[in-house]
Structure 1
Amino acid sequence: MALDVEFVRSQFPAFSSAELAGHAFFENAGGSYTCGAVIDRLTRFYTHRKVQPYAPYAASELGGAEMDEARARLAAMMGVDSDEVSFGPSTSANTFVLAQALRRMITDQGGAVVVTNQDHEANSGVWRRLAEDGIEVREWKVDPQTGHLALADLRAFLADGAVRMVCFPHCSNVVAEVNPVAEICAIARAAGAYTCVDGVSYAPHGFPDMNALGADIYLFSAYKTYGPHQGIMVVRRAVGAALPAQCHHFNAGVLYKRFTPAGPDHAQVAACAGMADYIDALYAHHVPGGTEGPLARNNVVHDLMRAHEVRLLQPLLDHLAARNDLRLIGPRDATLRAPTVAVALDRAAEPVAAALAAHGIMAGGGDFYAQRPLQAMGVDLDRGVLRLSFVHYTTEAEVGRLMTALDAVL
Structure 2
Amino acid sequence: MMLDVDFVRAQFPAFAVDSLRGQSFFENAGGSYPCRPVIDRLTRFYTERKVQPYGPYEASRLGGAEMDEARTRLSAMLGVERDELSFGPSTTANTYALAQAFRQWMKPGEAIVVTNQDHEANSGPWRRLEADGIEIREWRHDPETGHLNPEDLEPLLDESVRLVCFPHCSNVVGEINPVVEITAMAHAAGAFVCVDGVSYAPHGFPDVGLMGPDIYLFSAYKTYGPHQGLMVVRRALGTQLPNQGHHFNGEALYKRFTPAGPDHAQIAACAGMADYIDALADHHGLQGTPAERATGVHDLMRAHEVRLLQPLLDHLGAKNSVRVLGPRDAVSRAPTVAIETRHAGRDLAERLAPFGVMAGGGDFYAGRALQGMGVDLAKGVLRLSFVHYTDQADMDRLMSALDEIL
Report the TM-score range of the alignment, normalised by the length of the smaller protein: over 0.9
SS, match of residue 232 in structure 2: strand
Report what 1:263 is aligned to: 261
Aligned to 1:245: 243
Partner of 1:59: 59
- The amino acid across from 2:400 in the alignment is T
CA distance in 2, matches of 1:371, 1:155: 25
Cα distance in structure 2, aligned partners of 1:146 and 1:212: 29
Superposition TM-score, scaled by structure 1 size: 0.98
Structure 1 equivalent of residue 73 of structure 2: 73
Q: CA deviation at 1:153?
A: 1.5
Match in the other structure for 1:308: 304
Matches within 5 A, 1:304-383: 304-383=300-379
Q: Distance in 2 between matches of 1:88 and 1:201?
A: 18
- What is the CA–CA distance in structure 2 between the aligned matches of 1:122 and 1:300, rounded to whole Å? 29
1:44 match: 44
Could you list the runs of 5+ residues in structure 1 that have no partner in the other structure? Answer: none
The answer for the alignment partner of 1:278 in structure 2 is 276
Asked if structure 1 preserves the Cα contact closer than 8 Å seen for 2:281 and 2:287, the reply is no
Please give the alpha-carbon distance, in whole angstroms, between the structure 2 residues aligned to 1:12 and 1:5. Answer: 11
Residue 388 (structure 1) aligned with residue 384 (structure 2): yes
Q: Give how far 1:264 is off.
A: 1.5
Separation in structure 2 between the aligned mates of residue 369 and residue 260 of structure 1, nearest angstrom: 23
Task: Give 1:221 deviation, angstroms.
Answer: 0.1
Look up the SS of the partner of 1:314 in the other structure: helix
**Is the CA contact 2:79–2:210 (under 8 Å) kept in the aligned structure 1?**
no
Answering whether residue 105 of structure 2 is matched by residue 116 of structure 1, we say: no
Give the Cα–Cα distance (whole angstroms) in 1 for the partners of residues 180 and 262 of structure 2.
Answer: 30
Q: Determine the C-alpha separation between the residues in 2 that align with 1:55 and 1:107.
A: 42
Q: Which runs of 5+ in 2 are unaligned?
A: none
Provide the C-alpha distance between the structure 2 equivalents of 1:259 and 1:274, rounded to a whole number of angstroms.
24
Q: What does residue 225 of structure 2 align with?
A: 227
Q: Matches of 2:128 and 2:397 in 1, distance apart?
A: 43
Identity of aligned residues (%): 70
What does the per-residue CA deviation read over 1:220-269, in whole Å, with 9 as the maximum and x for residues that have no partner? 00000000000000110001012111111111110000101012200000
Name segments (4+ residues, structure 1) moved above 3 Å.
Answer: none
The CA deviation string for residues 293-326 of structure 1, in whole angstroms up to 9 with x for no partner, is: 2111101000000000000000000000000111
Give the Cα separation in 2 of the matches to 1:291 and 1:364: 38
What RMSD, in angstroms, separates the aligned Cα atoms of the two structures? 0.8
- Give, in whole Å, the separation in 2 of the partners of 1:326 and 1:311: 22
Return the alpha-carbon distance in structure 2 between the equivalents of residues 380 and 136 of structure 1.
Answer: 29
* Residue type at the aligned position of 1:62: L
Report the secondary structure of 2:175's partner residue: coil
- How far 1:212 moved relative to its partner? 2.1
Report deviation, 1:396.
Answer: 1.3
TM norm structure 2? 0.99
Q: Distance in 1 between the 2:256 and 2:126 partners? A: 19
1:125-164 paired onto structure 2 within 5 Å = 125-158=124-157, 160-164=158-162
Per-residue deviation, 1:12: 0.2
CA–CA distance in 2 between the matches of 1:127 and 1:64? 34
Cα pair 2:118 2:369 within 8 Å, conserved? yes
SS in 1 for 2:313: helix
C-alpha distance in structure 2 between counterparts of 1:70 and 1:127, whole Å: 29
Give 1:211 deviation, angstroms. 2.2
